Structure 1
Amino acid sequence: MNEQEELLTLLNRRISAVVELIKQKGADGLLIFNQANYRYLTNFTGEEAQLILTANGDRILLSDSRFAGQIKAQAPGELTVIMKQGDQDAEISRELKQANLHKVLVEGEFVSATEFSNLQALNPQLELELCQELVERVRNVKDELELATLRQAVQISMDSFNGILSMIKPGAIEREIGAKLDYLFKVNGGDGPGFETIIASGVRSSWAHGVASDKEIESGDLVVIDFGAFYHGYTADITRTVAVGQVDPELEQIYQIVHEAQRRGITAAVTGNHGADVDKAARDYINEQGYGQYFGHGIGHGIGLEIHELCQPALPFGKQELVNNMVHTVEPGIYLPNKGGVRIEDDILVHNQTPETLSTLPKDELIFL
């Protein structure tokens, strides 16, 4: 079996799984606006497209002439391609009618109220029903191609991180370090950053999402670096905290607390547990050490075609039962206002009772630079 045949086999499995969910909702089709979702079901990577997936497994992709060659090169299998010429809602409506559908699910998170109202007005013969995170339910469990791609995204991220460690010293500018890291993602074979790189030093390390600024790094700073490379559409998500010279003893102490909390969280990331069990394992330890009020965010989220999966309102990580081949982060942190913060984050593959940590950068001891 060649690569194209292998890809088509995987796509057909994904299509079948989503079709089953469409049928469970008593619908004839699903109208997809989310780029990650239509990419998952077609392998087409372009933007501004829509995909109609019917309960028979038929796929109708609406795009435009800019992407004709790209679709032909990327999207294997039987796929009806419509090149939009005019009003998008009218063209979607025409294809829905020609497909002879009666009840169609519409991705509620990715269609505006105005567009949904237009589609209803144009399709009085159809029952249109908003749905939440249907394709995402299938995407939560990665197939072999996705796992291989994620592993490569993680490796590129780690190689790139190692390439900027020598830059982290007094006088260095956060933004310059972040720019070099983003550059190395591409040099090392990736497609760029999967999200806005966080470089937060000193007091700013207590900001959970302190994106790189013009601040100079100073001796005695902790530096939180949250980063991940895109590779073939999939992103890693890793955080390490390092010290520049000697830091306040309490900051060293909270590093060890966060490290142990993460170890406990990873240990709990086993099949049959829920995300809430992972969170509890880490959070209980931080609470026991007296820092519970300084850990205000969730323990993690899924990763894949989007940086934040398994975390939306319809699929919160805490309520999800963990099954094999889910990939999610475990990222406890302690953030002391006006002093500094620590976060350690790794990408975890759920594998029976033995979670696999995909990201293997050193973390057992605080790294002093």
Structure 2
Amino acid sequence: MTEENELLTLLNKRIASVTNLIKDAGADALIIFNQANYRYLTNFTGEEAQLIVTAHGDRILLSDSRFADQIKAQAPGKLAVIMKRGDQDQEITKQLQALNLKKVLVEGEFVSAVEYANLQRLNPDLEFSICEELVERVRNVKDELELRALRQAIAISMASFKGILPLVKPGAIERNVGAKLDYLFKINGGEGPSFDTIIASGVRSAWAHGVASDKEIADGDMVVIDFGAFYHGYAADITRTVAVGKVDREMHQIYDIVHEAQRRGIAAAVAGNHGRDVDAAARDYINEQGYGQYFGHGIGHGIGLEIHELCQPALPFGKQELVNNMVHTVEPGIYLPNKGGVRIEDDVLINGQNPEVLSTLPKDELISL
């Protein structure tokens, strides 16, 4: 099977799954505004488009002339392409009125209140209904094409991390180390960072989202490095904590606690469990060791076309039953205010009763530089 035929086969499966959800909602069509979602259903990567998907599987992509050739090159299969020339809501309305529709779903997370009101005003004969994370429900389970992209994103991220370790030393500036890491993502074949690279050293390592700053790394610092590259639109997300020189005894101790908590969390990431089981396996151990109050965030989230999936109110990780080919992070941490913190994060593929850790950078021992 050629790459194009494989892509088209997978796109058709994705479309069929989404149309089933549209029918389950008693609707005739869905209007998609989220770039990740229309990319998932068309393979078009441009940043300006809307997609109408009907319950019969018809797709109408609305974009503009800047992307005409790109759409032709990227989007296979039967797809009606409309080049917008006027007001976006009126252009969408023209397409809706050309179809035999009664009820239309709209992505609630990605349409403004003004736009939603405009669509209702322009289409008084249609019933509109807000839906939450409909396409995302299909995206939660990765197909083979997606898994290949995720594995490559992770491989690029790991190679790039190894490339910056020699720079992590006393006197180095967090921002400079982060810039080199972001550069290596592209040099190694990625599309750049999948989020703002976190490099937090010393007391800043207790900041769970301590994006790289102008701080100098000092001898004795713990350094939390949270990083990931995009590859073909798919995001990796990995964290390692390294020690610069000899670190405080308690910081070394909490590293060991976090490492064991993560091991237990990964062991619980099996098909049939829920995200809350993964969380409890890690959190209970941290609580037992007396550091529960210093682990405030969730155990993880899904990854894919977006760096944070399976974490929104409609699809929280804790309530999600884990099924094969979901990919999510397991990232416990302990953060001691005004002292420092530790986080270890890996990307895990649900594989029956044998979770596969896709990110394989060393972590069994605290990395000392």
> Could you tell me which residue of structure 1 aligns to residue 17 of structure 2?
17
Partner amino acid, structure 1, of 2:251: L
Could you list the per-position Cα deviations for residues 277-316 of structure 1 after superposition, in whole angstroms to 9, with x for gaps in the alignment?
Answer: 0000000000000000000000000000000000000000
Could you list the per-position Cα deviations for residues 216-250 of structure 1 after superposition, in whole angstroms to 9, with x for gaps in the alignment?
Answer: 00000000000000000001000000000001100
2:220 is paired with a residue of what secondary structure?
coil
> Which aligned pairs between 1:128-277 and structure 2 lie closer than 5 A?
128-277=128-277
Distance, in Å, in 2 between the alignment partners of 1:49 and 1:82 is: 10
Partner amino acid, structure 2, of 1:50: Q
Distance, in Å, in 2 between the alignment partners of 1:85 and 1:289 is: 62
> Which aligned pairs between 1:44-55 and structure 2 lie closer than 5 A?
44-55=44-55
Could you list the per-position Cα deviations for residues 72-130 of structure 1 after superposition, in whole angstroms to 9, with x for gaps in the alignment?
Answer: 00000000000000100000011011022110000000000000000000000100000
> Which aligned pairs between 1:215-364 and structure 2 lie closer than 5 A?
215-364=215-364
Distance, in Å, in 1 between the alignment partners of 2:101 and 2:147 is: 35
Distance, in Å, in 2 between the alignment partners of 1:226 and 1:340 is: 15
The alpha-carbon deviation at position 28 of structure 1 amounts to: 0.2
Q: What percent of counterpart residues are identical?
A: 81
Distance, in Å, in 2 between the alignment partners of 1:83 and 1:101 is: 22
Distance, in Å, in 1 between the alignment partners of 2:312 and 2:99 is: 31
Could you list the per-position Cα deviations for residues 9-58 of structure 1 after superposition, in whole angstroms to 9, with x for gaps in the alignment?
Answer: 00000000000000000000000000000000000000120000000000
TM-score by length of 1: 1.00
Partner amino acid, structure 2, of 1:28: D
The alpha-carbon deviation at position 253 of structure 1 amounts to: 0.1
Distance, in Å, in 2 between the alignment partners of 1:138 and 1:367 is: 38
> Which aligned pairs between 1:82-97 and structure 2 lie closer than 5 A?
82-97=82-97
| Unaligned 5+ runs, structure 2 | none
The alpha-carbon deviation at position 159 of structure 1 amounts to: 0.2
Distance, in Å, in 2 between the alignment partners of 1:209 and 1:99 is: 47
1:110 is paired with a residue of what secondary structure?
coil
1:92 is paired with a residue of what secondary structure?
helix
> Could you tell me which residue of structure 2 aligns to residue 8 of structure 1?
8
> Could you tell me which residue of structure 1 aligns to residue 35 of structure 2?
35
Distance, in Å, in 1 between the alignment partners of 2:8 and 2:368 is: 48
TM-score by length of 2: 1.00
1:170 is paired with a residue of what secondary structure?
coil
The alpha-carbon deviation at position 360 of structure 1 amounts to: 0.1
Distance, in Å, in 2 between the alignment partners of 1:202 and 1:271 is: 38
Distance, in Å, in 1 between the alignment partners of 2:148 and 2:306 is: 16
RMSD, aligned CA: 0.3
1:328 is paired with a residue of what secondary structure?
strand
Check if 1:365 corresponds to 2:365. yes
Distance, in Å, in 2 between the alignment partners of 1:169 and 1:190 is: 26
Aligned residues: 369
Distance, in Å, in 1 between the alignment partners of 2:185 and 2:209 is: 20
Distance, in Å, in 1 between the alignment partners of 2:224 and 2:184 is: 18
Distance, in Å, in 1 between the alignment partners of 2:211 and 2:47 is: 26
Distance, in Å, in 1 between the alignment partners of 2:99 and 2:149 is: 35
Distance, in Å, in 1 between the alignment partners of 2:326 and 2:37 is: 17
> Could you tell me which residue of structure 1 aligns to residue 104 of structure 2?
104
> Could you tell me which residue of structure 2 aligns to residue 127 of structure 1?
127
Distance, in Å, in 2 between the alignment partners of 1:223 and 1:337 is: 15
Distance, in Å, in 1 between the alignment partners of 2:110 and 2:331 is: 28
Distance, in Å, in 2 between the alignment partners of 1:348 and 1:307 is: 14
Distance, in Å, in 2 between the alignment partners of 1:349 and 1:97 is: 43
Distance, in Å, in 1 between the alignment partners of 2:276 and 2:110 is: 27
Partner amino acid, structure 2, of 1:36: A
Partner amino acid, structure 2, of 1:60: I
2:109 is paired with a residue of what secondary structure?
helix
> Could you tell me which residue of structure 2 aligns to residue 72 of structure 1?
72
Partner amino acid, structure 1, of 2:22: I
Could you list the per-position Cα deviations for residues 57-81 of structure 1 after superposition, in whole angstroms to 9, with x for gaps in the alignment?
Answer: 0000000000000000000000000
Structure 1 outlier segments of 4+, above 2 Å: none
Distance, in Å, in 1 between the alignment partners of 2:106 and 2:194 is: 27
Partner amino acid, structure 2, of 1:30: L
Distance, in Å, in 2 between the alignment partners of 1:179 and 1:9 is: 39
